[in-house]
Amino acid sequence: MQIIRKKNLNKLAFVNAHIIDPCTKMDGIGTLLTQGKKIAQVGVGLSKNRIPNDATIIDCKKNILAPGIIDIRARLGEPGNEHKETITSASNAALSGGITSLVSMPDSDPIVDQISVVEFIARRARETNGVKIFPAASISKNLEGKKLTEMGLLLEAGVVLFTDANRSIGNSKMMHQALTYSDNFNILLMQHPEENNLSEGGAMNSGSLSTRLGLPGISRLSEIIQIERDIRLLENTGGKLHFSNISTKESVDIIVKAKKRGLNISCSTAPHYFLLNEEAVGQWRTFAKVSPPLRNEYDRKAIYKAIIKGDIDAIISDHSPHDQDSKRLPFEQAASGIIGLETLLQLSLKLVHQGNMKLIDLLERLTYTPSKIIGLELGRLTKNTAADIIIFDPNQKEIIDPRKFKSKSRNCPFEKEPVKGKILATVVDGRIAFQNKSQKMIA
């Protein structure tokens, strides 16, 4: 990338860009113009005569220009766990990974079940002036699974979805009630796919490896039974339901059948579920401890194929930052979760580089579809929509090095993994919020 002419920074002209927009199916060399926070013009072969005389012109040198990534499941640490992550550090990490919008999980301290906490997150996001942060609130008060939160009031305060994060709603009557509210008030519920009684006390996927390592296992049935139950409830109530972190073949099959019956249901998974299997745990490697756990190779391959086919709607980071003291413990006691904001695009691009997926289809799973799931008009390159875009080189080689991450945490099982893909710039509301050091354009 190269700046050709620097004038009005409120008017940007990205020229000579390989524009890919999954929403409009645009895929070719063209130009995108911004005016303030909005996209003013975009098109393949857009005439140079359309560029305002006072615009700043940036030559993209045929690198990919696409909608910014929308991550619908990430933990920010703040409030309460600022030693693991802050809104500022998470924002910087997200922008460097090409993420322009994210949904923050409610399992902070205090838990996001009150309007005051929603307002705190919104205020801190404005102060940071980085990635767009949309808070999720808990379905149950204090994440206890006993009493519903004030969903209507929290929705009015700016909450985009409701979830109990890494705890599923175990009480069927309460989940039925939550889905009824979902139907009546057009509320999206995100469910963690683990039946609590079956998964409680487990540390990794149940099987021969867990037996050899002497670790308590979590059965695949935990995920399958939870999904089956919730779909039965959804059939009775209506509403919108999303399952995150899908990890088994049977889960995908059940969800696909439910979609065919017309249910308003969607699902997502994270790169570790389609790139790693339970062997990554190795000799009690806690950096590979996640929830649900990494499954066997059979399930990993099934999740990989389900993304390609579109049976899995979206790819998420499931960013879960942890300090060393939380991970460098005996496996059973260690915290679950890995960081993923800065590696989401790079790891997902393996689906393309391995020859199994078109880039425009992958970007759809990362941009347009996530925006539809949470009901926001983002993730698209159309006139008068938010100028949230990324420019990246999909072929630039790198080695993942957590020491260089902007996140405060380093719990990444992909250290030293060779990847292709480099974010050159991230634009949020028409403002260049991140520039790669090697591509520094505007001071």
Active-site amino acid positions: 318
- Reduced to 3 states, what is the DSSP secondary structure of residue 173? helix
Q: Which two tokens stand for residue 313?
A: 């709607």
Contacting residues for 90 by C-beta, under 8 A, at least 6 apart:
74, 76, 77, 78, 102, 131, 319, 321, 341, 407
CB distance 250 to 243 below 8 Å: no
Q: Please identify which residue in the block is written with the tokens 């960013």.
A: 319
Contact 132, 428 (CB under 8 A): yes
According to DSSP, the β-strands at 314-315 and 265-269 are parallel
Query: Which amino acid, residue 134?
Result: F
Distance CA 29, CA 18 (A): 4
Spatial separation of the C-alpha atoms in residues 386 and 371, rounded to whole Å:
12
Q: Please report where in the chains the tokens 């409610």 appear, as a residue.
A: 106
Residue pair 285/413 in contact by the 8 Å Cβ criterion: yes
What six digits make up the tokens of 162? 């409701």
Give me the helix-helix angle, 220-237 and 249-260, nearest 10°: 10
Cβ neighbours for 6, distance < 8 A, ≥ 6 positions apart:
56, 442
* Maximum distance among all Cα pairs of the chain, rounded to whole angstroms: 69
- Listed in sequence order, the residues at least 6 apart from 91 whose beta carbon sits closer than 8 Å to its beta carbon are 125, 128, 130, 131, 133
Q: How many other C-beta atoms are found inside a 10 Å radius of the C-beta of residue 128?
A: 17
Ranges assigned E (strand) in 144-213: 161-163, 188-191, 204-205
Is 426:96 a contact under the CB 8 Å cutoff?
yes
Task: Write out the two tokens for 236.
Answer: 């009775």
The 8-class DSSP code of residue 141 comes to G
CA distance 208 to 298: 14
Q: What is the DSSP string of 268-333?
A: EE-HHHHH--GGGGTTT-GGG--SSPP--HHHHHHHHHHHHHTSS-EE---B----HHHHSS-TTT
Identify the helix (H) or strand (E) that includes residue 203.
none
